[in-house]
Structure 1
Amino acid sequence: MGDHNTFGKLGEQKAIDFLKASGYQIVRQNYRYLKAEIDIIARQGDILVIIEVKSRTSGFLEDISNTINPKKIKLLTMAANHFVEEMKDDVEVRFDIIIVIKYDDRFDIEHIENAFYHF
């Protein structure tokens, strides 16, 4: 596994730890449907939250809007729809982004709720 994959998995784990500490219930990790992958599916009360995690080092701070493009949004939406259909449950769905930035020995986490409304 490449260093970027290892770092990405570490970022996802940091995001999961953050979500659990914030009262979210983790439903699924790395859900795949066709060409789409949802990093984290969680519940916050009655809301099903689809979460895209972006992990970066402090030296590589690309504008997140460049990484979450319309194609990525379409894939995430398609996978989320499939997951909800599999659940056979009528739930409200929200799309969030968690940005994990590593600064030397510490991590900063930014959680953007309803993220697709920001793009």
Structure 2
Amino acid sequence: MAEHNNLGRKGEELAKQYLESAGYEILDQNWRFGKAEVDLIAYQHKTIIFVEVKTRTGNAFGEPEDFVDTEKQALLVSAADEFIELMDFNGEARFDIIAILFDKQGNYRLNHIQNAFWPDPY
């Protein structure tokens, strides 16, 4: 398996552990709809949270969260809409990013960005 895939899986597992320790219930992981994949779908305080996890080993080209571009956001929104419809959910929803940056020694910094973006209604 490619090294970047291993890094991504490691980041997703760290993000999942972080969310669970913060009291979130994990509803699903790597949920797919069409071309979109939602890394983690969590639930807390009557809110469904769609989480994109970005893991990097350096920030020379930007912080991990900088790589969630508008195209990725649109894919996440379409997947979230489908998930909400399938679950017949009528509560609040939000989109978070968990950015994980590893250093050369294997230490990492985790940045949880709540309400990282919201779909443009137009």
* Global fold match (TM > 0.5): yes
Q: CA deviation at 1:108?
A: 1.1
Preserved contact between residue 49 and residue 95 of structure 2 (Cα < 8 Å): yes
Counterparts of 1:103-118 in structure 2, within 5 Å, are 103=103, 104-116=105-117
Corresponding pairs, count: 117
Q: CA deviation at 1:65?
A: 5.9
Distance 1:102 1:64, change over 3 A: closer
Q: Distance in 1 between matches of 2:89 and 2:23?
A: 21
Distance 1:5 1:65, change over 3 A: closer
Q: Distance in 2 between matches of 1:55 and 1:65?
A: 9
Q: TM-score, normalised by structure 2?
A: 0.89
Segments of 4+ moved more than 6 angstroms: none
Q: Which runs of 5+ in 2 are unaligned?
A: none
Q: TM-score, normalised by structure 1?
A: 0.91
Find the counterpart in structure 1 of residue 45 from structure 2.
Answer: 45
Find the counterpart in structure 1 of residue 7 from structure 2.
Answer: 7
Deviations 1:67-87 (A, max 9, x none): 222111111000000001110
Q: What's the % identity of the aligned pairs? A: 38
Q: Distance in 2 between matches of 1:74 and 1:3?
A: 27
Matched, 1:74 2:69: no
Distance 1:40 1:54, change over 3 A: same
Preserved contact between residue 48 and residue 94 of structure 2 (Cα < 8 Å): yes
Q: Distance in 1 between matches of 2:19 and 2:69?
A: 24
SS in structure 1 at match of 2:111: strand
Q: Distance in 1 between matches of 2:106 and 2:88?
A: 43
Q: CA deviation at 1:89?
A: 1.9
- What root-mean-square deviation, in Å, do the aligned CA atoms of Structure 1 and Structure 2 show? 1.6
Q: Distance in 1 between matches of 2:87 and 2:52?
A: 20
